Structure formats: C-alpha cells, structure tokens
Amino acid sequence: MTNIITIDGPSGSGKGTVSRILAKKLSYDYLDSGALYRLLGIAAMRSSIDVSDTKSLAEIAEQMEVEFQLSTDGKFKVTLDGDDVTSELRLEDTGALASQIAAYGLVRRVLLTRQRAFATDVGLVADGRDMGTVVFPDAELKIYLTASVEQRTNRRYKELLEKGEDVSLRALAEQVRARDERDMNRAESPLVAADDAIELDSSHMSIDEVVEAIMAIIEFKRAT
C-alpha cells in the first residue's frame, strides 16, 4: 500500500510527535490510532458506561464523531462530538483507560474499520501499536520506534511537570511498565514489531534526529 507510513511503539517512545512532524513534511494526513481508544474512554465516562461492557463500548465506537486537526504550525487538535478534548486526551488516567479498552477484541474490530478509512490518496502517517501488523500490513514503510523504560518515564515526567502536574517518578515508571505489559501481552493485536519493520531506538536521540533518520529511510526506499 503506497503512501502509508506506520510508526508503532510503546508509550513515550516519541511516535506521536515524530508522526505529526513527518505528516507535515510529507503533506500527508495523520492518524493517531491511540487517540481513538482514548476518545472512546472519554465517551464511555461521559455516558457512564462500565468499561467492561464491551458491547456498549463497541456501539459508542461506531457512533462517536471524531475529528483530528493538524494545523500548519504542527499543533494537534482533537474533537469528540464537537467538543475540543485535546487536553483531556493526554491525561494519564485517560491513557490507562485506553490501554484497558484496547484489549477488547470486539472494540478493536469496530475501530479497525474507522482506522482504515483514514487511508486516502493524499497519503497517511499512522502511529499506534498495531498499525504495521494489523491495520496497514501492506504499508509502504513500517517503523517500530522504541526507547528504554527509564527514558520514556523521564520524558513523560518532564512533560507532566511542564503542565504543572504533581507526579511521582516512581509511580509513573510503574504505570509505564504496567501499560507495556498490557499492550505487549494482550490476546488481540499485541504490541510487536512487524516482521518487515525498521526498528529505531530513540533512547539517546532527539525528536529531530529521529525525524531525520526516518526521512533518510524514506528517501532511500524511494530512490531504489
């Protein structure tokens, strides 16, 4: 599948920021697949739906109105049923809820159709945990972006401090490990690198260095 680039990886690896920058550079659309699960979690809470009620979750997943907006200056805005939920989307509780919801096969199958609908002739950069393995297995390029637990925890810790949130580094590290455990060992679409993915360890790389490395890979593939 031409003009689709997938970037999978664990929480805190930098895949979201990298994907948005790449989408802008390539003039591609952008899909934050994890945001769909976070949005579903938010929608479920607003509707007072028990997150273990997979049938109700699947119904909400089919009906919720979602819009991703990537501005010319790279800022990302997400709306749910017309409401701007961008800040709520990145809360730790929302992420933990999304990880729990993502383990449900019925929900994943419903959202799979919505995810694939993002692919158009414009081109797409899709980030998530199963973009290259399940959603777009024939993508032009697959990247698996990873980093050590320590680096990913420190990045998230700094991000939360900058937002004025009081967080425990130790508790945050436990949350990161727990999320990795759920994502990598779930029965449905576990987090793994696709067989034909190129793995990049961003532990000691800046965002710009990661973007440059991926752009070099894209240019090389297209020249050969």
- Sequence-separated (6 or more) residues with CB below 8 Å from residue 4: 119, 123, 124, 125, 126, 136, 138, 139, 140
- DSSP SS3 for 156: helix
Question: How confident is the model at residue 91, as a pLDDT?
Answer: 83
Q: How far apart are CA 6 and CA 123, in angstroms?
A: 11
Question: How confident is the model at residue 116, as a pLDDT?
Answer: 94
Q: pLDDT at residue 150 above 90?
A: yes
Kindly list the strands in the beta sheet with 124-128, ordered across the sheet, starting from the edge strand earlier in the chain. 29-32, 124-128, 4-8, 141-146, 198-201
Q: What percent of the chain has pLDDT over 90?
A: 64
Model pLDDT for residues 62-120, shown as the tens digit of each residue: 999 998 886 666 677 889 999 999 989 888 788 888 888 988 999 999 999 999 999 98
- Sequence-separated (6 or more) residues with CB below 8 Å from residue 183: 10, 11, 99, 102, 129, 190, 191
Enter the CATH code of domain 4-218. 3.40.50.300
Q: What is the mean predicted confidence (pLDDT) over 20-25?
A: 93
Question: How confident is the model at residue 73, as a pLDDT?
Answer: 64
Model pLDDT for residues 171-224, shown as the tens digit of each residue: 989 989 998 998 898 888 889 999 999 999 999 999 999 999 999 999 998 888
Q: How far apart are CA 211 and CA 1, in angstroms?
A: 22
Q: How far apart are CA 30 and CA 15, in angstroms?
A: 12
162: tokens are 């900058």
Domain boundaries, the chain: 4-218
Question: How confident is the model at residue 74, as a pLDDT?
Answer: 61
